[in-house]
């Protein structure tokens, strides 16, 4: 099976509202990722419910939807060899207390919910999530 060379990230409302977007994007490019699509945007209630439908019914679901619709987010498509796995390593564990030193969540997350950054968890989801946020003409695979 071939491995995609891109992943989708969101800088979540906690980090955007604290002005961390620039620092996080710099850490991402310093780690060797190219930004091939980028926008400051927000999720409607319906968007968030669709994006996180896999978590519906879990105890944290309603609070997660509330949080992810609470303010602007930054969405980006990132290109690098083995991007999904490499980016999951860069962001670190969901719970920042368990995240390794130097990871984005260790540096920027407040809590398990307000954990600063999202990264796709599979190549299949990277494709779905990239098209969730961007039209084909907004993604520059040539970069
Ligand atoms: N136990 C929990 N308590 C509160 N919020 C949670 C909990 N588990 C997950 N979340 C929130 O839901 C998001 C999605 O959960 P998931 O298990 O997919 O984590 P993840 O794959 O590390 O994160 P993401 O999908 O955002 O990259 C988490 O990033 C976090 O914001």
Tell me the binding residues. 12, 60, 88, 94, 105, 115
Tell me the binding residues for ATP. 12, 60, 88, 94, 105, 115
ipTM: 0.94
Q: What percent of the chain has pLDDT over 90?
A: 97
What pLDDT score does 73 carry?
Answer: 98
Cβ atoms of 4 and 83 closer than 8 Å: yes
Report DSSP state, residue 69: T
Residue 129: which of 31, 54, 56, 29 has the closest Cα?
54
Q: Which CATH superfamily is domain 6-138 in?
A: Nucleoside diphosphate kinase-like domain (3.30.70.141)
Instruction: Kindly state if the Cβ of 113 falls inside 6 Å of ligand 1.
Output: yes
**What mean pLDDT do residues 6-17 have?**
98
What pLDDT score does 2 carry?
Answer: 55
Q: What's the whole-number average pLDDT of the chain?
A: 96
Q: Is the pLDDT of residue 91 over 90?
A: yes
Cβ atoms of 13 and 133 closer than 8 Å: no
Which residue is closest in CA terms to ligand 1's atom 25?
A: 118
Instruction: Kindly state if the Cβ of 121 falls inside 6 Å of ligand 1.
Output: yes
Residues identified as active-site: 118
């Amino acid at each position: 099976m071939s491995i995609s060379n891109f992943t989708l990230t969101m800088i979540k409302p906690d980090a955007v509202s604290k002005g961390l977007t620039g620092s996080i994007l710099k850490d991402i490019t310093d780690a060797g990722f190219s930004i091939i699509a980028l926008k400051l945007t927000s999720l409607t209630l319906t968007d968030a419910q669709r994006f996180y439908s896999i978590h519906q019914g879990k105890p944290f679901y309603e609070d997660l939807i509330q949080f992810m619709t609470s303010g602007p987010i930054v969405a980006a498509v990132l290109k690098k060899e083995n991007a999904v796995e490499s980016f999951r390593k860069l962001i670190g564990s969901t719970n920042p207390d368990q995240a390794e030193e130097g990871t984005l969540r260790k540096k920027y997350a407040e809590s398990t919910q307000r954990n600063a950054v999202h990264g796709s968890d599979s190549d299949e989801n990277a494709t779905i999530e990239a098209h969730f946020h961007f039209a084909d003409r907004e993604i520059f695979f040539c970069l």
